[in-house]
Every structure is written in structure tokens, then in C-alpha cells.
């Protein structure tokens, strides 16, 4: 949702920060890597039950995630390698965060509910895969109720108090599943449109071109 409707507004805010960081020779890859470090710290804080600290670290993780793209644009060094690195780090960060949630649930005796964060992670990866596969086919699969920004915000809400921790996780699972189904439906419909039939070459033109090539070849031999 934020990716589609609010990206322009967010970029207007982050662009000056991106230029400021470029002036201080901070690269997008450095921000991406440091964001992964903060995500790992967030996971440890969640697992240890220190949720107020986890909220602070999660916020810093989100800032790094927003600013690495702004720095790449401001430095005019946006590249396929940087985009690939950012996507891989995002998936690793998602795994760390849900791993921290799973450890917390295990430590507090929630039994089979430890599968809940893994279900969220599975649908999260499905959302990411659908977008990547659709774009490789020349189709669009952006948008939805629960993209990465929304997931991080909702996780922060879950960490506010133990009373809402599990209900918000269930809500996150439902919304990520709805997003995955919505993307599948959009891509399925777009892929069902008939592809344009390529025009067959005019045989007369082909024969004429062949005769010209043969004449030129004979002339060259003589």
C-alpha cells in the first residue's frame, strides 16, 4: 500500500536526507548492511522479551531501509547489484525478525503457536516471489494491503504490549495472506491476456532479398 500510494510523498521527505548522506560519503550498500545489523539486534531484543528496546531498533531498521534507496538515487549509483543486495538483505531481515518472534513464543510456553511467525514468513516470501516472477515476465505485481513497510509497522504495534502481541500477529498473517492472494489474482488476469501474434514475413520480399544476395555474391566472385 505504501509502495504504491505514498512512495512519492516518502521520497520527497527522504531525498534531502539522501543528498546529505551522500555529501558525507555514506553509500547505499553501507546503509543496507547496517540495516541488517539493526534487524539482527531487533530479533535478539524480541527474543529476550525487551520489546521497548526492540521497537527502537525496529524503527532504526526502517529508517535504514528507507534511506538506502534515497542515497542510491542521490549519488546516481543505483545499480542492479545494489537492488539485488537490498532485496536479499530484506529477506534475511524478515527471517531474523520472525525468528526472534518464534524464540519469544517458545520461551514463554506458547507451544504450537511458534508456527505462527513461520506462517507469516512463508506468506511474506510468497509475496516477494510473486513480484519478482511477475516482473521477470514483464508484468506488474506491486501494491497490496501488507507490504514490507506495513509489516514492520504492524510488528511495532504488536511489541507495544503483551496483550496485543498475539492478536496483531494473527492479523498480520491474515493481511499478508490476503495480499498474496490479491497479487496472484492480478498477475493471473494479466497473464491471461493474449499475446500479440508476430507478423509473418512477406515471402515475396524474402525471395526478392535472396535473389539480390545471390546476384551480389556472383558479382563479387567476378
Q: Any idea what the CATH number is for the domain that residue 179 is in?
A: 1.20.120.1760
Contact 73, 83 (CB under 8 A): no
Structure pTM? 0.79
Task: Check pLDDT > 80 for residue 88.
Answer: yes
6-61 pLDDT, tens digit per residue, is 566 666 777 888 888 888 888 888 899 999 999 999 999 999 999 999 999 999 99
Q: How many residues does the chain have?
A: 222
Q: Give the range of the structural domain holding residue 48, as residue numbers without chain letter.
A: 2-221
Q: Residue 130 in contact with residue 180, Cβ under 8 Å?
A: yes
Distances (CA, A) of 210 to 74, 200, 203, 216: 53, 17, 10, 10
- Residues 14-27 as b/e (b if ≥16 CB within 10 A, e otherwise) read beeebeebbeeebb
CB 40 within 8 A of CB 184: no
For the question of residue 90 being annotated catalytic, the response is: yes
- What b/e readout covers 49-65, taking b as 16+ CB neighbours within 10 angstroms? eebebbbbbbebbbebb
Q: Is the pLDDT of residue 128 over 80?
A: yes
Judged against a pLDDT cut of 80, whether residue 90 lies above it is answered with yes
Residues 186-210: what's their mean pLDDT? 66
Catalytic, out of 65, 68, 86, 90: 90
Q: How many domains does the chain have?
A: 1
Amino acid at each position: 500500500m505504501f509502495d504504491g500510494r505514498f512512495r512519492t510523498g516518502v521520497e520527497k521527505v527522504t531525498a534531502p536526507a539522501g543528498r546529505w548522506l551522500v555529501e558525507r560519503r555514506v553509500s547505499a550498500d553501507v546503509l543496507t548492511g547496517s540495516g541488517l545489523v539493526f534487524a539482527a539486534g531487533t530479533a535478539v531484543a524480541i527474543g529476550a522479551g525487551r520489546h521497548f528496546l526492540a521497537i527502537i531498533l525496529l524503527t532504526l531498521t526502517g529508517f535504514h531501509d528507507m534511506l538506502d534507496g534515497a542515497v542510491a538515487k542521490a549519488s546516481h549509483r543505483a545499480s542492479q547489484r545494489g537492488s539485488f543486495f537490498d532485496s536479499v538483505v530484506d529477506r534475511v531481515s524478515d527471517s531474523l525478525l520472525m525468528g526472534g518472534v518464534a524464540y519469544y513464543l517458545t520461551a514463554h510456553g506458547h507451544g504450537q503457536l511458534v508456527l505462527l511467525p513461520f506462517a507469516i514468513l512463508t506468506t511474506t516470501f510468497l509475496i516477494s516471489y510473486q513480484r519478482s516472477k511477475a516482473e521477470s515476465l514483464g508484468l506488474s505485481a506491486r501494491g497490496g494491503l501488507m507490504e514490507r513497510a506495513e509489516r514492520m509497522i504492524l510488528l511495532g504495534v504488536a511489541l507495544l504490549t503483551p496483550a496485543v502481541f498475539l492478536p496483531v500477529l494473527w492479523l498480520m498473517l491474515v493481511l499478508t495472506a490476503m495480499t498474496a492472494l490479491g497479487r496472484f489474482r492480478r498477475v493471473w488476469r494479466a497473464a491471461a491476456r493474449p499475446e500479440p501474434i508476430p507478423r509473418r514475413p512477406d515471402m515475396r520480399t524474402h525471395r526478392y532479398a535472396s535473389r539480390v544476395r545471390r546476384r551480389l555474391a556472383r558479382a563479387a566472385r567476378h
